[in-house]
Amino acid sequence: MEDLLLLEEGLSLEEKLARDETRRFVDIDVIPIMGEAFEQAKFPTHLIQKLADLGFFGLNLPAEYGGSGINFVTYGLICQELERGDSALRSFVSVQNSLCMTPIYTYGTETQKQQFLPKMAKGLLIGCFGLTEPDSGSDPGNMKTNARKVSGGWVLNGSKLWITNATLASLAIVWAKTEDGVRGFIVEKNFPGFKSNEIKKKMSLRASLTGELVFTDCFVPETHLLPGTEIGLKAALKCLTSARYGIAWGAMGAAMACYETALSYCKARTQFNRPLAGFQLIQKSLVDMALEIVKAQCLNLQLGRLKDQGKADYAMISLAKLNACREALNIAREARNLLGANGISLDYPVIRHLLNLESVFTYEGTDNIQHLIIGKHLTGLDAFS
């Protein structure tokens, strides 16, 4: 996509190289297979080792734990390119990074970090994040999953729903209510009383393995409690904030794919003896799409620089997530319209991105929740209840 505002000039060499390497991977290994993966509702597990080899797990973590130690702008650029391939792929990487490795690094003991993070960085252990429940999505404080203290550990009961990587994961970061408030636990797949079930019949994120986690008197050793989560639900919400940052960048990757497809299609498709791109209404649509992508990229880049300076807060990230997801979905819908009947065919990526973005628009905090987060920041008044 043309760099209309010369944003490229503000990127470092390292940032450009990481983006370009990710772009090559997506163009060669991802895009050619994602239409079929979406149609068959199968995650391309053969890409996991390639993702690990490219250093996409533990991107912001120190090298001592197997991480790449990159800055947040680079992380964002990588997310943008991955979602240009497919939202399922970026979601997979985001969950491994922001929702699993980050809480272990932030809230875990040194033993836990050494035990899990290097293996996760190599793709030997895949994680999932268990917060959402059947009856508590936007209201996680109303969770029913509970952990009861017993000798040597905890007994976990409850369930989590709409969990990315659920059936693929070797471990889950699970949030449960205790007598002292919400706590986070590392629950390994082989713990008795823990099982996962895949959710079928999805029409969005079909190439993502989404499922349910069920805990029935599941014993979790004391060594698997994340001690830093003594701050309660705030710990889980900080993980969501981290994930929303990657989503803001990723959604623009999907938007770029839709715009570029529409632009190419309209320049090549002839109606009434002229290319579609030569009609005024078509040009208006293309310009509006490009405008919103450039605006979102400016916002995301500024946010990334602020994160790298330690100045970004949760309201800023909600602003970026709200904007990117809303505009990406609008762009995908308009691209689908410009392609006419071909817009619903998996021979083109637009309908796949459109359907995926319906989930991206909702997960890690719905559009309405992002409005309330920003609204509370602007007014000082809590409208959540």
Tell me the catalytic residues: 364
CA dihedral 215, 129, 61, 300 (to 10 degrees): -170
Give, for 155, the enclosing helix (H) or strand (E). strand 153-164
359 closest CA partner among 213, 238, 203: 203
Using CB atoms within 10 Å of the CB of residue 275, give its burial: 0 to 12 exposed, 13 to 18 middle, 19+ buried. Answer: middle
Closest CA to 17 of 78, 65, 80, 58: 78
The Cα–Cα gap between 207 and 204 comes to 8
Residue 161: name the closest of 144, 184, 180, 148 by CA.
144
Spell out a b/e string for 31-67, using b for 16 or more CB atoms within 10 Å of the CB, else e.
Answer: eebbbebbeebebbeebbeebbebbbbbbbbeeebbb
Question: 123 is written with which tokens?
Answer: 């793709």
The pair of structure tokens assigned to 335 is 């691209």
